[in-house]
Structure 1
Amino acid sequence: MSIHQVPFGISLLGLQLSFIASAMAADTQVYEYEPNQQSDIVPLDVQDTERRAFLDDTSLIFKPRSYYLDRDRDTNPDSEGWALGGALEYKSGWWVDRLRLGATLYTSQKLYAPSDKDGTLLFKPGPESFTTLGELNVTYRFSENHGIRAGRQRFGLPYLGSHDIRMVPNTFQGVAIGSVASEGFAYMAGYVDKIKRKNDDDFISMSEAAGAEGSNKGVYFAGARYQLTERILLEGIYQRTEDVFDTFFMKAEGPLYRVNDYKIKGFLQYTDQSSTGDNLIGDFDTSLLSAKLEMSKGPVSWRVAYSTTDDSFGIQKPYGNPSNYLSVIVDDFDRAGEDAWLIGGSYGFGKVGPGELSTFANIVRGDTPDTGINASADETEYDITFDYRIQEGWAERLWIRTRLAYVNQDEALGGNDFVDFRIIINYDFGLL
């Protein structure tokens, strides 16, 4: 890798920030979606105000996706692949106003996948194409806003979620009970027996996914959300993988200050993890504290964030959805003893041709111990993302995302610099 790639990545960030600085007076929607940071206590989908018949409300949606990823490393083997596939999603109406069926078929097929550049997580190891019935479930609504869902399903919970950052998301086998509430109190609880990871077509036990080979333990969880207003949110969730580890997570988000068109919002979250029972993946106790401030006006958003992880052990996230405001394209910045800082910005260009163009960028620096059993390479990640969402004609709901990351690691502690480039194309349209 040439040293010229470092200023190239920084210059892209500078270009984006110059657009932001020159457009503070515009009135365009800001779009930003960083999947590594999107995790909430999401209620079950049991609310339906239209009350249409079972067949009348049936939907079949095709969601094609194309994904190209190229990770060019200094010393370690490169990873590269191009996949075509997506999902076919079926959802019935409510039978006798109580039961709903759901199923989703996922596939990831090789367009380009050299065997000497495996490791993209777009395919099964090999690399191999695959197709899987990731979701097959039934939801029973026992009151207006309360229900229970059983079978293969997706979750979007902190440290237990789909983590949809490749061709196919994580899906889970289990049962969940919950409520729907746009304001006030909502809850979700359940038991998850197995997980199908994003680059596999088989379900394995949760404890095995966590690293306890030959075990067959599941995850119990219970969480709650309280929406004080449309803008103030409080959440907490507890998860236990018997004989493996526990996770407790809580967060608070809401506005701190507003004057004229300027808005400042605060974000705070805390994670505590510890081994339990037979300590099948080791004896540990660790925690993560993360905070973010965001200022926005019109099409512009600026943010700064900080996180610190206990120096005894890194955060465990074998079930997806890492929950740190500094988790970005490549890294999560939650290694043992890691202190990390982020600065970033977003800008919505508004209407460009038939769609809307937006961009956001981040610089994250993570410092870890230089000595001891948890010593690891300090690193800095530079990211920029461009999103183009078409909103009219036959291509309505077409979303094209281009992402570039440069990771600079301390080579004295075994670090490896690399560039990560991605193009993701998403689309969906109804067949029924």
Structure 2
Amino acid sequence: MAAGAQAQGFFEGSHGTLTLRNYYLDRDYQDDGAKSEAREWAQGFILKLQSGFTPGPVGFGLDVTGLLGVKLDSSPDRSGTELLPVSASSGRAADEYSRLGLTGKIKVDKSLVQAGDLTLALPSALSSPSRLLPQTFRGTYLQSNQIDGLTLHTGYADRIAKRNSTNYEAMTVASPNGRFNGRATTSHMAFVGGDYAASPALTLKAHYMEVADLYEQGYLGALHKTPAGPGTLSTDVRAFFSDENGSADAGNVDNQHLSLQFAYGLGGNRFTLGYAHQLGDTATPYISGTELMGISETTMSSDYLNAKERMWQAIHDYDFAAAGIPGLSSRLRYVRGDHIELAALGATDRKERELQWEMGYVIQSGPLRNVGLRVRQSFYRNDFPTGAAFRDENQTRVLVTYSLPIW
């Protein structure tokens, strides 16, 4: 009983943080679509109040998350960046939007149960952090580290709060380019999985997720790191296996998504080469509003998950701390996909490509210490038919962040 007692109390172990996010997003479309641009600027406020746990072998706690987004610049002719909610009738973005998330939690030894508003980081369901405010789920989540080196995950969610939404709604499958029936909803999703650190150099992962009456998805992954000459070589293998589930309201789902990626770190440099191959008759499914943890996860203009697609990428990351400038980092990335099939648009053997660069800096000292600035830009082109979801564009994002500890 004493071994399982919590070290700190409900109030003694609590802390609060206010994060400010100033976000500018500009999509400059390069095709002949009806809308020539989507450009908005907004300010986000993310307040997190996290309690400790009550004393004893079973500790109880409560987390509160308050989210507020404020429009700084937008108009109906250029709304739709997903920084802000947009009226379907007028195309006008809301002046502000907010939501409150409550998460109860119970801790027993090395196991934690959370219920309420959830942030998930699962291979098949990553709560999207890529807009003004984070996306969350409503449900229950158990994480356990009772066995050394092994983290077990299991849970259930019945609703999603999207990154530009004020409320929970039923989950659907993402359906750009008409891949699936995007109108079909699910009553819930359930998941189970484990991450095992077999050694300091090797981590193995196995996960399964069921999105009731839409699809089910298994995942196997391995990450290995080893010294290689003067640097470190990382090998990353990921595989998703997807089929329809229950009444298959999303339509046919038949996909095997396989990827292999190598990264070599040397000094401040990190060089990455990756390849992903889609097998089966359909694209890789994922829940609308979330992200799939594939190797194309942080691309800006496409998801590179189309049916039959074969994608490769080359990335160079540099940490300028190696050159005596701590806090400054950069990335240059080229991504290309081909053999793409867009069945709903009657297109086969199509191609897409993207050149992306970014720079980030966190101020290290002075009155603005810990203020972060990140600039990202991509140049995306494809040969998809008119009406496709992913359009030729030049995209720019500017993000300024600052986290202020309250106590």
The bucket for the TM-score relative to the shorter chain is 0.7 to 0.9
Select the residue among 136, 155, 161 that pairs with 2:126.
Answer: 161
| Counterpart Cα distance in 2 of 1:253 and 1:216 | 32
Identify the residue that residue 371 of structure 2 maps to in structure 1.
398
Deviation of residue 50 (structure 1)?
8.1
Q: Which of 379, 385, 401 matches 2:358?
A: 385
Aligned AA (1:117): R
1:95 aligned onto 2:64: no
* Aligned alpha-carbon RMSD (Å): 2.6
Given that 2:99 and 2:167 are in contact with CA atoms closer than 8 Å, whether structure 1 keeps it comes out as no
Return the letter of the residue paired with 1:423. V
2:392 is aligned with 1:417: yes
Is the helix fraction higher in 1 or 2? 1
Q: Which residue of 2 aligns with 1:57?
A: 13
Contact 1:183 1:230 (C-alpha < 8 Å) held by counterparts: no
Aligned to 2:230: 261
SS in 2 for 1:350: helix
Alignment: residue pair count: 384
One-letter code aligned to 1:317: Y
Maintained 8 Å contact 1:335/1:368: no
Structure 1 residue 132, shift from structure 2 partner: 3.1
TM-score, normalising length: structure 1: 0.82
Measure how far apart 1:134 and its partner are: 4.7
Q: Percent identity?
A: 21
Aligned residue identity for 1:136: L
Aligned letter for 1:107?
A: L
**Higher relative strand content:** 2
- 1:341 aligns with 312
Go from structure 1 to structure 2 and tell me whether the alpha carbon gap of 1:180 and 1:399 turns closer, same or farther (over 3 Å shift): farther
**Residue of structure 2 aligned with 1:84, choices 34, 43, 68:** 43
Which residue of structure 1 lines up, in the alignment, with residue 68 of structure 2?
A: 107
- 1:202 CA displacement: 1.4
Structure 2, unaligned runs of 5 or more: 87-91, 176-180
Deviations 1:42-83 (A, max 9, x none): xxxxxx998222222221210010000001002232110001
CA displacement, residues 340-367 of structure 1 (integer Å, 9 cap, x when unaligned): 1111111111289985211011101100
Task: Name the counterpart of 1:192.
Answer: 157
Aligned match of 2:259: 290
Closer/same/farther in 2, CA of residues 208 and 357 from structure 1, 3 Å limit: closer
Q: Tell me, yes or no, if the aligned pair for 1:306 and 1:326 is still in contact at 8 Å.
A: no
Higher mean displacement: 384-393 or 350-359: 350-359
Cα deviation 1:186-225 (Å, max 9, x = unaligned): 1010110110011111101224888664755100100101
Once the two structures are superposed, residues 58-112 of structure 1 have per-residue CA deviations (whole angstroms, 9 ceiling, x without a partner) of 2121001000000100223211000101201111121124011101111111101
Secondary structure of the residue aligned to 2:199 is coil
Q: Which runs of 5+ in 1 are unaligned?
A: 1-47
Tell me the residue number matched to 1:132: 98
Alignment partner for residue 359 of structure 1, among 322, 325, 330?
330
Question: Structure 2 vs 1, CA of residues 91 and 414 (structure 1 numbering), >3 Å: closer, same or farther?
Answer: closer
Equivalent residues in 2 for 1:210-229, closer than 5 Å: 213=183, 215=185, 217-229=187-199
- The answer to whether the 8 Å contact 1:345/1:360 transfers is yes
Do residues 244 (structure 1) and 209 (structure 2) align? Answer: no
Q: What is the TM-score when the length of structure 2 is the normalising length?
A: 0.87
**Contact 1:207–1:217, Cα closer than 8 Å, also in 2:** no
User: Displacement of 1:375 after TM fit?
Assistant: 2.7
Q: Which amino acid aligns with 2:116?
A: G
